[in-house]
Amino acid sequence: MSFGKAQGAWHGLIGQIGLTGLVPRKMPECLEQCGHILLSAPIVRLGDQVMASCIINQNCSHLVTEWRIVWKLEPELHPRERQQHLPNGTLQSTITLPHFNHSRVLLSCCLHWGNSLQILDQAELQAGYPPIAPHNLSCIMNLTINSLICQWEPGPDTHLSTSFTLKSFKSQDQCQTQKDSIPDCVPEDGQSHCSIPRRHLQLYQDMSIWVQAKNALGTSISPKLCLAPMDVVKLEPPTLWALEPSPGVAPPQPGCLRLRWETWKPSLYIEQKCELRHQPRLGEAGWDLVSALPARTPEHELCGLLPSTAYTLQMRCTRWPLPGHWSEWSPSLELITTQRAPIVRLDTWWRQRQLDPQTVAVQLFWKPIALEEESGQIQGYLVSRRPSDQAGAEPTLCDTTELNCTFQLPPEAREVLLQAYNTAGSSHPTPVVFLESRGPPLGRLHATARDPHSLWVGWEPPRPPPQGYVIEWGLSPPSPNGSPMTWRLEHDGSIAGTLLQENIRPFQLYEITVTPLYQDTKGPSQHVYAYSQEMAPSHGPELHLRHIGKTWAQLEWVPEAPELGKSPFTHYTIFWTNTQDQSFSTVLNASTHSFVLRGLEPSSLYHVHLMAASQAGATNSTILTLMTLALEESELHIILGLFGLLVLLICLCGAAQFCCRPSRKYSLWPSVPDPARSSLGSWVPTIAAEDIFQLPSLRDPGMPPITKITVLEEEEKKPGPWESNDGSGTGSLSTLVQAYVLQGDPRVPSTQPQPQSGNSDQVLYVQVLGSPTGPGPGHYLRCDSTQPLLEGLTPSPKSYENLWFQTSPLGAPEPLVPHPEDDSIFEPLLDFPLLQGLRVSGAEGLGGF
C-alpha cells in the first residue's frame, strides 16, 4: 500500500476513534521511509493469532530523541506493545493479536510527533475461512444456444475473495480414462453458472465435469459429474393449436376437445414423448395430466371433460427413450368443449285469464332442474302446442331465454309442450296440463317472519293429501317495475310448511299464495299476508289535557289503530319536567289511556311528553306544556295560619323541654327548696350522676378540719340551756348559735310529730364546724331564721340522740370516735340538703370555736 493511501486512511481512523490532542498531520520529509511493517501472515483464518513488527531504520534514530511507537488497529490504539533496540541499530516494536476476528482491517504503526500522531507505515489484514466444496452441480445441454450450461451452489461466504472455475475433460470408459482436456470456464463475479460452447464438446461422448473453489486459505472441488451432453439435453416446448373441423370428419362428441401441436424444429430428428395437462379456466380445480403422447402423431382428442366448459391446456416434451430433461410447459391454449343437449327437469306453473269467449291468456312459468352434473348449457326455451319434429307442427308459442312466457290459447286447449335447447339439441318435452280447480282446499294458512330475510309459511294438509304444492310470493302491492312473483314447486305433498328465503327483503309486506296439486286437478289457492320484519310505530298517540288543578293534572290519549308491518305498543312512559329541570317519569301498560299527575306545585309550568314503545322500538309524541292553577287568597291565609300555629307549638314544646330538664334549670338559678312546702326527705334533690359533687368521707383521716363558719343570720339572744358555757369555745361569738342535728336518713320522711317552739317566726339553720375525726372538738351550730322549717321548730337533740357530740364531765363536748360498723351514723349527714351547700373556708371571727 502506498504511503499516500495509508495517510488518507489514517485521517479517517482518527475521526472514528476521536483522539484528543492528536491531530494527524502530513509526515515530515525527514520521517519518510523511516519505518515499515512486517506481518506473520496478511491473510489468516478468523480467530487465529497474528504477529506484526514495526522496524525503524538506523538512519532515522538520530532524528527523534525518544521514539514512542503506537499501534493502531482500527478503531483501537495499542500503545503498550513491546519495543526494543536491535544490534544493527534499528528499533523494533512488536504487537501480537491472539484472536483476530476482523474480516478486513488496517494495521498502522504510528509515532508521537509533538501533539500529533505520524503514521510510519500501514498494512492490511484479512481473515476468513477456506472455501467449502461446491455442491448440487448439474448441467443441461441447450440446443438453442448450442452450449452446455452448468450451475452449482457455492456454499457459505468465506469473507475472502473466492474464485470458481468449471473444469472438464473428455473421457472414455465412463470417465475412467482421461483424454482431451477442455478449456476452463470461469464465471463472472457473483455468478454460479458457466457455459461450455458447442465447439469444445462431443455430444455423444462422456466427459468429466467438476467445480473448483479457491481463495487465499485453500482450494476445494465439488464431486465430479460424468455425462454425455446429449443425455442432459433440454428441448424447447412445442406449440399447441386447436384442430379445425373438416368436412369429411365428424364433429367431436360432447365433452371432448381436439387439438394438435408442432414440435421445435431443431429437435425433429430426436425421438420424443410429450405430456398434456388441462384444467377448467374458472373455478379452483387443479391440473389433470395426460401422459405418453407420441410426438410424431401431432393430433389428439381429449374427452371426459365437462360440456360447454372453457379449459386451459399446456404441453411439454422430452427426449425418449434415451435420457433427457423435460422442456418447459408450452404457452397456454384455451378451448371450449362441445355442447351437450340439456338433460333437465322443468318445473312449471301457470296463470290463466279469460280475455273473451274465444281467447284465454296464459302466463307460463318454469324452472330448470339439472338431472346430471354434465348437463348441457341451456341456450333457450321453446313453448309449442305439439313437438317440433311431428308432421304438421304449429308455430311455436314462445322462443325465449327467460323463465316465463305469455301467450294466448283457445278455451278448449288444455296442454302445451315446453323444451330447453342448445346447439347440441333439445331436452325431452315437458307437458304442461292446465288443471281445473276441483280439489279440497288447504286449512289454516299462516305465515311468520323468521328473520329479516326469510318467511315461514305453514298450513294444515288437506284430506286426501295432495301430490305437491305451488307456493307463490311477492310484494303487496306489486312493485312499479312489474317484477314477477317468485314461486316454488314442492313435490312432497305430506309437508305442512316451508321456509321462503328467495327475494325476501326486510320491512316489506308480502302476499303469499299456496295451491295444492292433485293427480288430475288442483285445489283453490289460499292467500296470506305477512311482513318480513315489523317496524317501530311511525308516531305515538297525541297527548291531551283533560282536567287540571292546583297540584294535579289529568292527561289522556287515544291509542293509534294497528298498522300492518308496525309492531303493536307494549307500554307507555310519561315524562314531565318543571322549570327547575327536575324530571319525573312513570311507566304504564298498553291498556292505559289516561293518567293523573300528582304532587305538582301550584302556579307552576310543566312540560309533558308521552313515549310509546314496542318490541321493534319506541317513538315520542308531541310535547304538552301545562301550568297548574294558583292558590286563592283564603286558602293562602289558612295555610299561613296553620303554619304559624305549628311554629308556636314547636316553640312551646321546646321551652317546656328546656325548663323541665334539671341540668338546664339549675344552670339558670340555684335549686333552693322551700321549707314551708316540703318535708325533710323531699329536700334531697334528684341529681344526675355527672352533677353530684363527691365529698370526702367523714371517716377519711386525711380530711382537713373546717376552720371557717359563715353566719347566715344573727340576732342577740340569751344563751339557752343546751348551749355550752365554755368560754374558749364560744367566747368570741357575738350571738348565740343554736344547733340542730339530723337523725337517720334524710331521704326518708319523718313520721314523728315536731313540737312547736316558742319562737314561731324563726327557723334555725345550721352549719357544722370541725371534723369528727380531728383532734379538736367539733361543733354543731344553728342560726336564727324568720321562715318556718318543716312546718315547725325542731327541738334540741337529746344527749342520747346526738350521736356525734357527747358532753364530757367537764362540760366540753367530745367527738364520738367513728366505728367502721357505724356507717349509718355518719353517711346521712352528707346527704342533708343544707349541708351540701356549705362553704368550707377559714375560721375568721370564730376564735377557738
**What CATH number is given to the structural domain containing 59?**
2.60.40.10
The average pLDDT across 795-799 equals 53
- pLDDT, tens digit, for every residue of 110-152? 887 777 778 888 899 999 999 999 999 999 998 888 899 999 9
With respect to residue 744, please indicate whether it lies within any of the assigned structural domains: no
| Whether the Cβ atoms of residue 174 and residue 231 lie closer than 8 Å to each other | no
Of 27, 20, 16, 122, nearest to 71 (Cα)?
A: 122
Residue labelled with grid coordinates 289522556 = 556
Higher pLDDT, 708 or 257: 257
Same domain? 284 vs 361: no
Residue 412 clears pLDDT 80, i.e. is over it:
yes
| Whether the Cβ atoms of residue 103 and residue 217 lie closer than 8 Å to each other | no
With respect to residue 356, please indicate whether it lies within any of the assigned structural domains: yes
Residue 623 clears pLDDT 50, i.e. is over it:
yes
Task: Point out the domain boundary residue: 504, 531, 558.
Answer: 531
Higher pLDDT, 392 or 458: 458
Same domain? 565 vs 620: yes
Q: Which of 158-172, 629-643, 810-824 has the highest mean pLDDT?
A: 158-172
- pLDDT, tens digit, for every residue of 354-379? 888 889 999 999 999 888 777 778 88
Task: Point out the domain boundary residue: 234, 253, 273.
Answer: 234
- pLDDT, tens digit, for every residue of 156-171? 888 998 999 999 998 8
Confidence of residue 483 (pLDDT cuts 50, 70, 90): low
Confidence of residue 849 (pLDDT cuts 50, 70, 90): very low
Higher pLDDT, 595 or 655: 595
HSE at residue 534, side-chain half, CA atoms within 13 A, is 19
DSSP 689: G
Residues 131 and 54: their CA atoms lie apart, in Å, by 32
Residue 341 clears pLDDT 70, i.e. is over it:
yes
With respect to residue 102, please indicate whether it lies within any of the assigned structural domains: yes
| Whether the Cβ atoms of residue 315 and residue 274 lie closer than 8 Å to each other | yes
**Domain around 391:** 347-422
The average pLDDT across 106-111 equals 86
pTM of the predicted structure, to 2 decimals: 0.47
Residues 267 and 561: their CA atoms lie apart, in Å, by 91
Same domain? 230 vs 155: yes
| Whether the Cβ atoms of residue 447 and residue 454 lie closer than 8 Å to each other | no
| Whether the Cβ atoms of residue 438 and residue 461 lie closer than 8 Å to each other | no
The average pLDDT across 451-465 equals 90
Predicted confidence at residue 276, as pLDDT, reads 93
With respect to residue 590, please indicate whether it lies within any of the assigned structural domains: yes
Buried b / exposed e along 416-437 (16+ C-beta atoms within 10 A): bbbbbbbebebbebbebeebee
With respect to residue 781, please indicate whether it lies within any of the assigned structural domains: no
Buried b / exposed e along 451-477 (16+ C-beta atoms within 10 A): eeeebbbbbebbeeebebbbbbbbeee
Residue 340 clears pLDDT 70, i.e. is over it:
yes
The C-alpha cell that represents 154 in the structure block: 457455492
Task: Point out the domain boundary residue: 336, 355, 375.
Answer: 336
- With a CB cutoff of 8 Å and minimum separation 6, the contacts of 96 are 49, 50, 51
- Secondary element (H or E) of residue 708: none
Same domain? 67 vs 151: no
Predicted confidence at residue 393, as pLDDT, reads 55
Same domain? 145 vs 181: yes
With respect to residue 719, please indicate whether it lies within any of the assigned structural domains: no
Confidence of residue 422 (pLDDT cuts 50, 70, 90): confident
Confidence of residue 810 (pLDDT cuts 50, 70, 90): very low
Predicted confidence at residue 111, as pLDDT, reads 81
Higher pLDDT, 219 or 668: 219
Distances, alpha carbon 750 to alpha carbons 250, 365, 543, 742, 789, in Å: 156, 129, 86, 11, 13
DSSP 3-state of 765: strand
Same domain? 268 vs 294: yes
The C-alpha cell that represents 112 in the structure block: 508521537
Residues 201 and 204: their CA atoms lie apart, in Å, by 9
With respect to residue 806, please indicate whether it lies within any of the assigned structural domains: no
**Number of CB atoms found within 10 A of residue 232's CB:** 20
- pLDDT, tens digit, for every residue of 228-238? 999 999 988 99
Average model confidence (pLDDT) for the chain?
76
The average pLDDT across 87-116 equals 84
Predicted confidence at residue 32, as pLDDT, reads 65
CATH number at residue 365: 2.60.40
Same domain? 417 vs 455: no
The average pLDDT across 721-748 equals 40
Residues above pLDDT 90, as percent of the chain: 23
Residues 475 and 298: their CA atoms lie apart, in Å, by 61
Read out DSSP for 768-795? EES-TTSSSPPEEEEE--SS-STTSPPP
The C-alpha cell that represents 143 in the structure block: 440446443
**Number of CB atoms found within 10 A of residue 694's CB:** 6
Beta strands 135-142 and 233-234 are: parallel
Same domain? 326 vs 374: no
Same domain? 609 vs 555: yes
List strand residue ranges (DSSP E) for 253-385, in order: 257-262, 272-280, 288-294, 299-302, 310-319, 333-336, 344-356, 359-370, 380-384
Same domain? 447 vs 526: yes
Cis peptide before 431 (omega within 30 of 0): no
Residue 612 clears pLDDT 70, i.e. is over it:
yes
- With a CB cutoff of 8 Å and minimum separation 6, the contacts of 390 are none
Predicted confidence at residue 618, as pLDDT, reads 85
The structural domain count of the chain equals 6
Predicted confidence at residue 497, as pLDDT, reads 93
- pLDDT, tens digit, for every residue of 180-212? 888 999 998 888 999 999 998 888 888 999 999
Residues above pLDDT 70, as percent of the chain: 71
Residue 457 clears pLDDT 90, i.e. is over it:
yes
Same domain? 360 vs 330: no
With respect to residue 311, please indicate whether it lies within any of the assigned structural domains: yes
Confidence of residue 17 (pLDDT cuts 50, 70, 90): very low
- With a CB cutoff of 8 Å and minimum separation 6, the contacts of 220 are 130, 131, 132, 133, 134, 212, 213, 214
Same domain? 222 vs 162: yes
Predicted confidence at residue 708, as pLDDT, reads 45
Confidence of residue 561 (pLDDT cuts 50, 70, 90): confident
Residue labelled with grid coordinates 317484477 = 483
Predicted confidence at residue 550, as pLDDT, reads 86
| Whether the Cβ atoms of residue 83 and residue 23 lie closer than 8 Å to each other | no
DSSP 713: -
What amino acid occupies position 32?
E
